[in-house]
A and B are shown apart, each in its own frame.
Chain A
Amino acid sequence: MGADSTGRRAPRDWHALPRDLKPADYMRLARQVTAGDGEPLEPVRVACLSSYSLGFVEPFLVVEGTRFGLRVVPYFGEFGQFEQVLADPESRLYAFAPDVLVLALRPEDLDPDAVTRFHASGGTRLRALAREAVERLARCTAMFRERATGPVLVANFAAPADPPMSLFDANLTESVAGTIVTANAELASAIHAHAGAVVWDYAGLVAATGSTRWTDRRLWALGRIPVSAECQPLMARHLARTIRASRRPPAKCLVFDLDNTIWGGVVGDDGVEGIRLGDDYPGNAYKALQRSALALNDRGILLAVASKNDEEVVRNVFREHPEMLLSWEHLAAARINWQPKSQNLRAIADELNIGSDALVFFDDNPVERAEVRRNAPEVGVIEVPTDPLDYVAALADAFQFDQLALSEEDRGRSDMYQRERQRRALATGAESVEDFLASLDMVAQVGQAGQATLGRIAQLVGKTNQFNLTTRRHSQADLQAMADDPNGVVAWLRLRDRFGDQGLVAVGVLRVAERQAVIDTLVMSCRVMNRHVERALVAYLNEHAARLGCDGIVGEYIPTKKNAMVRDLYPALGFAPMEGDGVERFVKLVGDDACAWPAMIAREDAARDAS
């Protein structure tokens, strides 16, 4: 890292430049980029031919290029010179050996009257001028192509800020604005006839910025500079981004997080009904992001999920939440587990058979983004803003997805990957689930309620909606009484795994009457679903039933709007259905070991009143 002639040091990471810089900063930083200071950048030689003074963009272009990993080495031709330099193999243009050619021609520079006095000719003069400009730009592209292979970026035509008969213009069949729109369509089709030639959407940029703000009359009058000082950085950023896109294929896959990213809230805590997603604020911010992700999918960008969650809970959101625009079938891959995200991203790349440098990661959590930047630096990481309303713009700013052409294959790619994924899921599903559970190194500690645990037990019994067999909302005092009763058991299970302590996650309450033990209450946090934790707790309750001299153990299921996911729990654990009276009852013999403690969970027994 060197210091330039002003004695100030260059930043080390160009991509981390602040968004807002002053002109003096650009001029200082541009010298540092040109001197090769800081992190390595890819050099690209860019020749610009224009009908106006474009050279003022130089320091802005050099500095903005660094945001896209480029060290732009620019060359600016004399304004108004196109064919002369393109036709002459000895010209300074070819001596410069450009990697990229930029052509920026404004029809009004060739004939100001054609715009200003549009109605003098009934518009025919502007139409003829625009057609001539299109033909000329196509000819210039062909001339360059004879001698060079690099991309050609052709600026399209911006509508003037103040058309003649301003209010009237939009009311005319033949208007200035309409003529420009038609000319831009003709330009795109004429340019695309040449290999490696694309439109630089200057018109779109001017419109998005505002054509009034775009121009400073003093700069135009003094130096034929049609772009204000304020807008020079915007033009430079847009041009640099287009230059990058003309040389790099787009990223192939967007990998996004779920909680507080494509919906508001944390589904493991808030439940399917509690997450924010819909047409009102703030749910509409997340719904808009889903719509933008689907728009990427429409043009062949694959979608995948990397989330620290329980897969079944997540699938339930995709299946049941009425406001979800994304469906499970849109996903080319999903890694929903507690592994580090960098590992999951690489696993997704492997599964899709693409490089992990073709992935772009969208996660609201800055800690996760930092983990990926450190451990998988080849992955593109979107700097996600804190306000969800800004998510859509952040995704639009993800230059990694820039694409200047669209093929039939692009449009069909997402479907192809979805079919491939379904095929693989059928082939490999069962084995990998068991492997995954074994890899978690789960340890369950079980015990009976005491002073230290009753508060958390009452909380789980009071709040759990989904994994709750009977939804009996016993108070803490009731639970205390049942724990103290010699014919009752209030049992708890605490789980830890290789990622840390999951806490006290499951509770079972047993009542003994007439040599039968009834599971009055069985609740579990959805965080630990599909990990055989409920099997462990029922096995533990079964032991207590035996200790209390019972012959049978009875499980009850009382359906509610929210607990359908556990409807078949007892049959799955080997319980047989009994005659019911509104409560579904299932029974099994205490000695039956079909419901043994699961092998992939290690066991610890807590002393009573410990924990």
Chain B
Amino acid sequence: MTIVPRLHAVIADVFGVREDAVTDDDSPDSIEAWDSATHIQLVFALEAEFGVRFEPQEIADLASVAAIRRRIEREVTDGSG
């Protein structure tokens, strides 16, 4: 499965929002449940879903769906290349 639907499913599960309503533009500003504590839950969930490991200094930068998508796409491309 491609990255985007899986990513949207994780966002929906972690924050309790509708999967089909998640967009690239979503961030802590648009999703109420997305705060500093649940951000760490999101990191757990992303690492398990995509088999990636985020460096501590980049975790704070994963502050929107678009940023997370680009970061995971880079990993997958690097991994297969």
Do A24 and B40 touch across chains, with their CB atoms under 8 A apart?
Answer: no
With A23-B48, A27-B13, A28-B13: A56-B40 Cβ-Cβ less than 8 Å: yes
Query: Mostly helix, strand, loop or mixed at chain A's interface?
Result: helix
What separation, in Å, do the CA atoms of A451 and B12 have in the docked complex? Answer: 72
Min CB distance, A39 to chain B, in Å?
21
- A35 CB to closest chain B CB, in angstroms? 10
Q: A5-B18, A218-B56, A222-B56 are in contact. Are A22 and B40 (CB under 8 A)?
A: no
Give the distance in Å from the alpha carbon of A31 to the alpha carbon of B14 in the complex: 10
Partner of A24, one of B14, B17, B54, B56: B14
Instruction: Determine if A24 and B47 form an interchain contact, defined as CB atoms under 8 angstroms apart.
Output: no
- Secondary structure of the B side of the interface? helix
Q: Chain B residue with minimal CB distance to A232?
A: B44
- Whether A222 pairs with B9 at a CB distance below 8 angstroms is no
Q: How large is the interface on A (under 10, 10 to 19, 20 to 34, 35 or more residues)?
A: 20 to 34
Kindly list chain B residues whose C-beta atoms are within 8 Å of the C-beta of A22: 45, 48-49
Q: Which residues of B contact A6 (CB under 8 A)?
A: 12-13, 16-19
**Chain B residues whose CB sits within 8 angstroms of the CB of A388 once the complex forms:** none
Task: Identify which of residues 1-60 in chain A touch chain B, using a CB-to-CB cut-off of 8 Å.
Answer: 4-7, 22-25, 27-28, 31, 55-56, 59
A219 CB contacts on chain B under 8 angstroms:
40
* A223 close to B (CB within 8 Å): yes
Q: Are B17 and A225 in contact, CB atoms less than 8 angstroms apart? A: no
A219–B44 Cα distance when bound, in Å, is 10
B20 within 8 A of A: yes
Interface residues of B in 1-39 (CB under 8 A from A): 9-10, 12-14, 16-20, 37
CA distance A398 to B40 in the complex (A): 33
Indicate whether A221 reaches chain B with its CB closer than 8 angstroms.
yes
Chain B contact patch, size range: 20 to 34
Cβ of A205 within 8 Å of any chain B Cβ, yes or no, is no
Docked Cα-Cα span, A223 to B47, in Å, equals 17
- Cβ of B59 under 8 Å from chain A: yes
CB atoms of B44 and A229 under 8 A apart: yes
**A56-B40, A222-B56 are contacts. A229–B47 as well, Cβ < 8 Å?**
yes
Nearest Cβ in chain B — how far from A220, in angstroms?
A: 10
With a CB–CB cut-off of 8 A, which chain B residues contact A55? 37
In the complex, chain B residues whose CB is within 8 Å of the CB of A59: 41
The reply to whether A4 and B48 contact each other, CB–CB distance below 8 Å, is no
Residues of A within 8 A of B12 (CB): 6, 28
Closest-by-CB residue of B relative to A5 is: B16
User: B10: which of A24, A56, A218, A232 is its contact (CB, 8 Å)?
Assistant: A24
In the bound complex, CA of A219 to CA of B40 (Å): 8
Q: What's the Cα separation between A510 and B1 when bound, in Å?
A: 75
Closest B residue to A225 using CB positions: B40
- Least distance between B11 CB and chain A CB atoms (Å): 9
**Binary interface profile of A, 193-230, with partner B (CB < 8 Å = 1, else 0)?**
00000000000000000000000001101110100010
Distance between Cα atoms of A357 and B54 in the complex (Å): 48
Partner of B18, one of A7, A222, A223: A7
Cα separation A391 to B80 with both chains bound (whole Å): 42
Q: In the complex the two chains form, is A7's CB within 8 Å of B44's CB?
A: no
B16: chain A residues within 8 A (beta carbon) = 4-6, 27-28, 31
Most chain B CB inside 10 Å of its own CB: which residue of A7, A27, A59, A223: A27
**Chain A residues near B59 (CB-CB < 8 A):** 218, 222
Q: Is the CB of A24 within 8 A of B49?
A: yes
Instruction: Name the residue of chain B whose CB is nearest to the CB of A228.
Output: B44
What's the least CB distance linking B32 to chain A, in Å? Answer: 11
> Chain A residue with minimal CB distance to B54?
A218
**In the complex, A27 Cα to B59 Cα: how many Å?**
20
Interface residues in chain A, defined as those with a beta carbon under 8 Å from any beta carbon in chain B: 4-7, 22-25, 27-28, 31, 55-56, 59, 218-219, 221-223, 225, 229, 232
Binding site for A on B (CB under 8 A): 9-10, 12-14, 16-20, 37, 40-41, 44-45, 47-49, 54, 56, 59
Sample of 6 more A-B contacts, CB < 8 Å, known A23-B41, A221-B56: A7-B19, A22-B48, A24-B9, A24-B13, A222-B56, A232-B44
Selected A-B contacts with CB under 8 Å, 27 pairs = A5-B18, A6-B12, A6-B13, A6-B16, A6-B19, A7-B20, A22-B48, A23-B14, A23-B41, A23-B48, A24-B9, A24-B10, A24-B13, A27-B13, A27-B16, A28-B13, A31-B16, A55-B37, A59-B41, A218-B54, A218-B56, A218-B59, A221-B56, A222-B56, A223-B37, A229-B44, A232-B44
